[in-house]
Chains A and B, each alone.
Chain A
Amino acid sequence: MKQRSVHAWLMLLPAMLLLVAFTHWPAVSTFIDSFHSTPRGARPSVWVGLENYQVMTQDPVFWKAVRNNLIFAAATIPASIGLALAMALWVNERMAGRAFLRMAYFTPTVLPMIAVANIWLFFYTPQYGLLERFTGMLGLPAHNWLGSPSTALGAVTAVAIWKEAGFFMIFYLAALQSLNPSLREAAAIEGASRGYFFRRVLWPLLMPTTLFVLINACINAFRMVDHLFVLTRGGPDNASILLLYHLYEVGFSFWDTAYASAITVVLVLVLAAIALFQFFVLDRRVHYK
Chain B
Amino acid sequence: MQRKSFLKICAMPLLAAASGLYGAMPAMAQAPVEVSFYYPVAVGGPIAKTIDGFAEGFMKENPGIKVSPIYAGTYQETIVKALTAHKSGTPPVTSVLLSTDMFTLIDEDAVVPIDNFVKTPEDKAWMDSFYPAFMQNSRTGGKTWGIPFQRSTVVMYWNKDAFKEAGLDPDKAPATWAELKAAATRLTKKDADGKVSQWGVQIPASGFPYWLFQTLTTPNGAILANEAGTAVKFDDPKVIEALQFWVDLGKAGVHPPGVVEWGTTPKDFFEKKAAIIYTTTGNLTNIRKNAGFPFGVGMIPGNTRKGSPTGGGNFYIFKKSTPEQQQAAFKFIKWITQPERAATWSMDTGYVAVSPAAYDTPALKKYGAEFPPALVARDQLPVSVAEFSTHENQRVTKALNDGLQAALTGTKTPAQAMKDAQQEADRILRAYK
Contacts and interface: CB of A to CB of B under 8 A. Distances in A.
Quick one: which of B84, B263, B264 has the most chain A CB within 10 A? B264
Nearest to B207: A233
B61 interface: no
Contacts of A41: 106-110
Nearest to B74: A229
Interface stretch (A76-84, A144-152, A202-210, A274-282): A144-152
Residues of A in contact with B, size category: 20 to 34
Contacts of A238: 402
A237 interface: yes
Interface in B145-171: none
Contacts of B110: 41
A212 interface: no
A40 B411 contact: no
Contacts of B207: 233
B225 interface: no
Nearest to A41: B109
Contacts of A141: 195
A39 B195 CA distance: 53
B406 interface: yes
B195 A147 contact: no
Residues of B in contact with A, size category: 35 or more
Interface stretch (B22-30, B126-134, B374-382, B390-398): B390-398
B171 to A, nearest CB: 27
A259 to B, nearest CB: 10
A255 B195 CA distance: 44
Interface in B36-93: 76, 80, 83-84
A144 B392 contact: no
A125 B261 contact: yes
Interface stretch (A1-9, A15-23, A246-254): A246-254
A121 interface: yes
A40 B108 contact: yes
B276 to A, nearest CB: 16
Contact of B409 (A122, A147, A252, A255): A147
A122 B264 CA distance: 8
A125 B80 CA distance: 29
A253 B193 CA distance: 44
B179 to A, nearest CB: 25
21 contacts: A40-B108, A40-B109, A41-B106, A41-B108, A121-B261, A122-B264, A125-B267, A127-B273, A144-B256, A147-B206, A147-B258, A147-B409, A149-B409, A149-B411, A235-B402, A235-B405, A236-B205, A237-B402, A252-B84, A253-B394, A255-B394
Given A125-B267, A148-B258, 17 more contacts: A40-B107, A121-B261, A128-B271, A136-B195, A147-B205, A147-B258, A147-B259, A147-B409, A149-B411, A232-B206, A233-B206, A233-B207, A235-B206, A235-B259, A236-B408, A249-B398, A256-B395
Interface of A: 40-42, 61, 121-122, 125-128, 136, 139, 141-142, 144, 146-149, 232-233, 235-238, 249, 252-256
